[in-house]
Amino acid sequence: MEKTLVILKPCTLQRGLVGEITKRFECKGLRLAGMKMVRLTDEILSEHYSHLSTKPFFQRVKDSMMTAPVVVCCFEGVDAIQVVRTLAGPTNGRLAAPGTIRGDFSMSFQENIIHASDSSETAKAELNRFFKPDELFEYKQATFEYLYACDEY
């Protein structure tokens, strides 16, 4: 099973959408393996968004992510990274199709509800950045046998 990181951004908390967003992932069939609320620091955001460090909006992104706590989640499932990214929709909420998380809840490129890992390498690094090993849980989900055919996992 593949694991991926989802960060519910400050705009999500401020708008009271945490339950609505996590519900979409759970209803799809992804298993929640870890979840916690944290306040991000400039240091961790500089590491997390290092790929944006040369962009003119780098500081604005970090400032936005520090306006309120975030909820970091680990979701797991077959092709979890792609499933999460498909559910999320494109980064710019104005361009996201209705039915996607950003299409339904975002009008912004920056205040776009969630961050989602974009590859298995990124997911591993991001999960290690935000979770200690004992904060991610393995358990058999009662509905597991009804989510996949026996040869899919």
Q: Active-site residue among 115, 116, 130, 131?
A: 115
- What is the predicted pLDDT for the residue at 10? 98
- What is the predicted pLDDT for the residue at 153? 84
| Report field, pTM of the whole predicted structure over 0.75 | yes
CATH number, residue 8:
3.30.70.141
Is 128 within the bounds of a domain? Answer: yes
Task: Give me the number of domains the chain comprises.
Answer: 1
**How far is residue 51's CA from residue 54's CA, in Å, rounded to a whole number?**
8
Average pLDDT, the chain: 96
CA-CA-CA-CA torsion sign (41, 47, 50, 53): positive
Long-range pairs for 131-134: beta carbons < 8 A, 24 or more residues apart: 131/34, 131/36, 131/72, 131/74
CA angle (96 as vertex; 50, 10 as ends), nearest 5: 50
Is 127 within the bounds of a domain? Answer: yes
- What is the predicted pLDDT for the residue at 16? 98
pLDDT in tens, 31-74: 999 999 999 999 999 999 999 999 999 999 999 999 999 999 99
Is 122 within the bounds of a domain? Answer: yes
115 classed as catalytic: yes
Q: How many residues does the chain have?
A: 153
